[in-house]
Amino acid sequence: MVNISTKTLSAADLAKAAKMLQDGKLVAFPTETVYGLGADARNGTAVAAIYAAKGRPSFNPLIVHVPSLEAAQELADFDDDALALAQAFWPGPVSLVAPLKAGHGLSSLVTAGLDTVAIRVPEHALARDLLTLAGCPVAAPSANLSGQISPTTAAHVLSGLQGRIDGVVDDGPCAVGVESTIVATNPARLLRPGGLPVEALEAALGHPLGRDLTPDKPSAPGQLTSHYAPRAQMRLNQTDGALVLGFGPVDGALNLSRSGDLLEAAANLFSMMRQIDDMADGDTLISVAPIPMTGLGLAINDRLSRAAAPRSGGATTG
């Protein structure tokens, strides 16, 4: 287990992490959204090891990370909408689902046998350096055990995956804090709200974005309702209770953003969900203050409502 921290990170350390990816190892790394668990997306054995490390119950398609649009276009065919979105928002917190291109070279475990692939160019400087050095497309789901909250620090990664992965690159907390927005193309539609607000996508497209969020028949299987599972029970849109996760003027044991800033709230969300879950004991209910449904509020409410959803046995996928 190699723990590579930016407090001491040298070019040689990053090269070592890149070499590990090339050698088929599992390396967790930061992106601006959440930490990902990376493996060479062309190496079927390495990709299978991602599923094993996460304890994912089934093969769900993974997001492929590349350093540039040019690298993405070697893997998939981009229609006009996909190109417009990539040019407007890459590098950044949006994943685009597009038809696989002939000769893409990806393991079919990455796409779970679909004829499309989800691709992302992260903005995080260290992630892009790592992808460039590795020189291979990197499949990376969030670096958490299946069904748990996505990690936004290296410590979160280790709390779930220590001993199950080969290394982690530590660059502190993630700036955005919720997973990427996923957009399918041809026709353009939203599969998962995330770190890039829908309003920004619609402004760039010049038309409203369709939605494809059906939880029981998901095109993005991470959409299954019980994806995020804190131990304690949560109820949303509450302003009082024994243990309140506050927002704005509604205060509590913790507050996602006292000033009501949705960017700050998203960045704090998963850390505070972990912290407040640790404070809850037995059957304490966690109350979560109302959060507006605009901008990043859509993704924040989406993740919170999954955490508050009744548990349905083996339906977790993330």
- Candidates 270, 274, 260; CA nearest to 195 is 270
Instruction: Map residues 216-255 to x or -, x wherever contact with ligand TXA holds by CB under 6 A.
Output: ---xxxx---------------------------------
Q: Binding to ligand TXA by residue 117, rule CB under 6 A?
A: yes
Give yes or no for residue 131 binding ligand TXA (CB under 6 A). Answer: no
CA 134, 135, 136, 138 torsion: positive or negative? positive
> How many residues comprise the chain?
318
180 binds ligand TXA (CB under 6 A): yes
Do the annotations mark residue 18 as ligand-binding?
no
The residues, any chain, with a CB within 8 Å of residue 84's CB and separated by 6 or more, are 204, 205
C-beta separation of 173 from 152 below 8 A? yes
**Residue 191 interacting with ligand TXA (CB under 6 A):** yes
Q: Is 124 annotated as a binding residue?
A: no
* Part in contact with Mg ion (CB under 5 A); list of ranges 39-47, 135-143, 162-170, 181-189: 135-143
* Contact call for residue 318 and Mg ion (CB under 5 A): yes
| CA–CA distances in Å: residue 80 to residues 58, 70, 101, 119, 255 | 33, 15, 16, 16, 41
Tell whether the torsion through CA atoms of 7, 8, 12 and 18 is positive or negative: negative
Tokens of 302: 């989406």
Residues binding ligand TXA (CB under 6 A)? 31, 33-34, 36, 60-63, 95, 97, 111, 114, 116-118, 120, 140-142, 179-180, 182, 191, 219-222, 318
Residues binding Mg ion (CB under 5 A)? 142, 318
Binding region for ATP: 56, 60, 116, 150, 192, 228
Binding region: 33, 56, 60, 65, 116, 120, 140, 142, 150, 180, 192, 228
